[in-house]
Every structure is written in structure tokens, then in C-alpha cells.
Amino acid sequence: KTALILNGPNLNLLGSREPAVYGSQTLEDVKALCSHACQAQGLLLDFRQSNHEGVLIDAIHEAGLAQAAGTLAGVVLNAGAYTHTSVALHDAIKGAGVRVIELHISNVHARESFRHHSYISPVAKAVMAGFGVSGYALAIQALADMDKAAL
Ligand code: DQA
């Protein structure tokens, strides 16, 4: 099965973007880390990033079909700032019926109040924040466990 790691807006700037908050590793580094984590779980990696809400929504719909077909374990979603704004992503996850782990590199709850609300959390299986980029590896392990347990 495949794990879809879906990254939203501005995450292409990882490494150079606010390194005090997000660290110095690039998105390519994160992809390599995810690749190792997937290998350890016997999963294939599908790693994507888009700055466009509609592209993320299309990917969620596609993931729902793949999960129903038994070819996808689920999605690790870092929706970036769309987390805090996107009713459309909320509806997409609900509509697609796909297993989503919401992930944030930073601890959003220790930051500005506009980052405290998430439209993704109510439709996510689990939420991770503040583990840095290591969170991606932890989330992939959890995704594999949830898939095996059919959670
Ligand atoms: C983020 C947190 C969001 O508030 C922010 O808009 C991001 C990244 C994180 O990974 O910590 O773009 O999702």
C-alpha cells in the first residue's frame, strides 16, 4: 500500500522559511525522511506539495478512491495555513472518507491565536503538532498501525 504525504502552501520554502520555527531541513530532506519511514513500514511513498487549495482537494478525493480500492493506507496532511481557513478541505476529507493524520511541524497551540483553530482536526483521525519534521516519520508509523488495525 501507499502512504500519501500531502503538504500545503509555503512548505516548498521549508529550510529557508522561518528556520527558528520550522528548522533548517528542506522539503527534499523531509521527503527522504518519509521515504525511510515508509520503507520501514513496507509502504510506498507518494510525496506531494502544492500551494493551491484545489490541487490539495483533488489529491484528497483521489486518496479516498485509492483507500477504498485497498491501495492506500491513508494520508499525512500538513495543510499549512489552509488548516486555519479551509472549509473546502474539511468537506473534502469528510466526503472522501479517507484516513487523515493532521500534522504540523510547529506547535500551533503555542503560536498566534489564529493558528489555534483547525478545520482539519474534526475530520482527522489524529493530530500531531510540535514534533518538528520528525513528526512525519512518527505519523507514517501511526498510519501503518491504524491501517493494519482498520482504525
Ligand atoms: C504549519 C503551521 C501552520 O500554522 C502554518 O500556516 C504552516 C505550517 C506547521 O507545519 O507547523 O504553514 O502547518
- Is pTM beyond 0.90? Reply is yes
Distance CA 79, CA 70 (A): 24
- How does pLDDT run across 8-45, given as a tens digit for each residue? 999 999 999 999 999 999 999 999 999 999 999 999 99
What domains can be seen in the chain, in order of their start residue? 2-148 (3.40.50.9100)
| CB distance 135 to ligand 1 below 6 Å | no
By the 8 A CB rule, do 90 and 120 touch? yes
Q: In this predicted structure, what is the pLDDT of residue 94? A: 98
95-104 pLDDT, tens digit each? 999 999 999 9
Cα(52) to ligand 1 centroid in Å equals 15
Q: How would you class 16 by CB atoms within 10 Å of its CB: exposed for 0-12, middle for 13-18, buried for 19 or more? A: exposed
Question: What is the per-residue pLDDT for 96?
Answer: 98
Q: Which of 5, 100, 106 to mutate to test the pocket of ligand 1 (most atoms within 8 A of CB)?
A: 106
ipTM of predicted complex = 0.99
